[in-house]
Amino acid sequence: MSQQHTPQRPSPNVGLFITCLADMFRPSIGFATVKLLEQTGCRVSVPEQQTCCGQPAYNTGDRRTSAEIARMTIDAFAGYEYLVAPSGSCVGMIKYYPELFDAEDPYQQLAQSLADRSYEITSFLFDVIGIEALQAQLQQLTIPRTVTYHDSCSGLRQLGIKQQPRELLKQINGLQIEEMTEAETCCGFGGTFCVKYPEISNRMVSNKSEFINDSGADTLVGGDLGCLLNMAGKLQRLGKDTPDALVEARHVVELLADMLDTPGIGEQDVRRLKATTPTTDFALGTEITGSAAQPRK
């Protein structure tokens, strides 16, 4: 659970845990995260000795490998006040590290310490740094989009992340949040689950896609790239004949850091959402009119 934490120094020393998926598939998430952290005065480093949080091993029942990876990650982040990652799922895994060691093992304490210092990015910004540090910057932005937020499971139920990303997004001018039905229901990704049980996973992500499309949003936003790859992949497969009507999928940090100059997840080109007059070129299925189109000033 997120607890109020006061940074020990005015410019906390943060180690970025990039996550294996963002590292490989979408580095822009990493750069957006760094930008947000630096904007709020953090000193950011990226420890070289990190790879993956170990979740695939942990969820396959391989505790030994999980513990070896945990030890490596604990050492890699030993010198940092905080570990911050653009994923609730990976941070959730790091919170399990203490369970991987016996009480006598010196790594048990170190694991506990790392677990206590680890945060998902929106929770770090909102619960640790405080929204004030970012408010002015966010209020300068104008992003005329209607977004719908998918609550990823570990972030929501293990870390209690629900209002943090929404409160941050709300600061942005022109941005509207339309909640989808069952925002809290699993998208069916589940790490290896989606390849072990592809048909069940497909049913789950099909349901999810329906809710996303029905929400009327032009942008799907979430805090975990695994889920976003799953949902974006499904939305694009379902909507392959109507590419202009596709909901664009983005990680929450891309909006907060105003880094929308890369194509949406799984897209080739950057799409531009028009603020005032809906045009055929750029319409994304939902015409943005009314309050969403008018930048709040």
Partner 1 sequence: MDINTPFFKARASEALQDANLQQALGNLKQGFPHKRAIAVERMPEFEALRDQGRDLKNHILEHLDLYLEQFESKVTENGGQVHWARTGDDANRIILDICQQVNAKTVTKGKSMVSEETGLNDYLEKNGIQPVETDLGEYILQLRGDHPSHIIAPAIHLNLEDVSEAFHAHHNKPKSDDPVTLMQEARDALREKFVVADVGITGANFCVAETGSTIIVTNEGNGDLTQTLPKTHIVITSIEKVVPTLEDMTLFLRLLARSATGQEFTVYNTLSSGPRREGDQDGPENFHVVLVDNGRSEMVGSQFQDMLRCIRCSACMNHCPVYGAVGGHSYGWVYPGPMGSVLTPKMIGIEKGAALPNASTFCGKCESVCPVRIPLPKLMRHWREDEFSKHLTPKAARYGLGSWAFLAKRPALYRQFTKASSWGLKLLANSPFGGKKGKLESLPLASGWTDFRDMPAPQGETFMQQWKKRQNAEQTDGDAS
- Subset of residues 41 to 100 that bind partner 1, contact rule: CB under 8 A: 46, 48-52, 54, 56-63, 65, 68-69, 72
Q: Which of 2, 113, 262, 294 binds partner 1 (CB under 8 A)?
A: 262
| Cβ–Cβ under 8 Å, residues 115 and 3 | no
Output 173 or 185, the one with its CB closest to partner 1: 185
Output 44 or 292, the one with its CB closest to partner 1: 44
Query: What is the closest distance, in whole angstroms, from the C-beta atom of residue 126 to partner 1 in the complex?
Result: 21
Q: Which of 103, 195, 261, 297 binds partner 1 (CB under 8 A)?
A: 195
Query: What is the closest distance, in whole angstroms, from the C-beta atom of residue 66 to partner 1 in the complex?
Result: 9
Give the largest Cα separation in the chain, rounded: 65
**CA gap 163, 150 in Å, rounded:** 12
Q: Which of 41, 170, 181, 196 binds partner 1 (CB under 8 A)?
A: 196
Show the tokens assigned to 259: 């880094």
Give, as ranges, the residues between 198 and 217 that touch partner 1 (CB under 8 A).
198-205, 207
Query: What is the closest distance, in whole angstroms, from the C-beta atom of residue 127 to partner 1 in the complex?
Result: 20
One-letter amino acid for residue 136 of the chain: A
One character per residue 6-25, x = contact with partner 1 (rule: CB under 8 A): ------------x-x-xxxx
Give, as ranges, the residues between 102 and 141 that touch partner 1 (CB under 8 A).
none
Residue 27 in contact with partner 1, rule: CB under 8 A: yes
Q: What's the chain's length in residues?
A: 297
Residue 272 in contact with partner 1, rule: CB under 8 A: no
Output 7 or 92, the one with its CB closest to partner 1: 92
Residue 197 in contact with partner 1, rule: CB under 8 A: yes
Query: What is the closest distance, in whole angstroms, from the C-beta atom of residue 166 to partner 1 in the complex?
Result: 19
How many residues bind partner 1, per CB under 8 A?
Answer: 71
Sign of the dihedral through C-alpha 33, 117, 108, 158: negative
One character per residue 225-254, x = contact with partner 1 (rule: CB under 8 A): ----xx-xxx-xx-----------------
**CA gap 40, 109 in Å, rounded:** 30
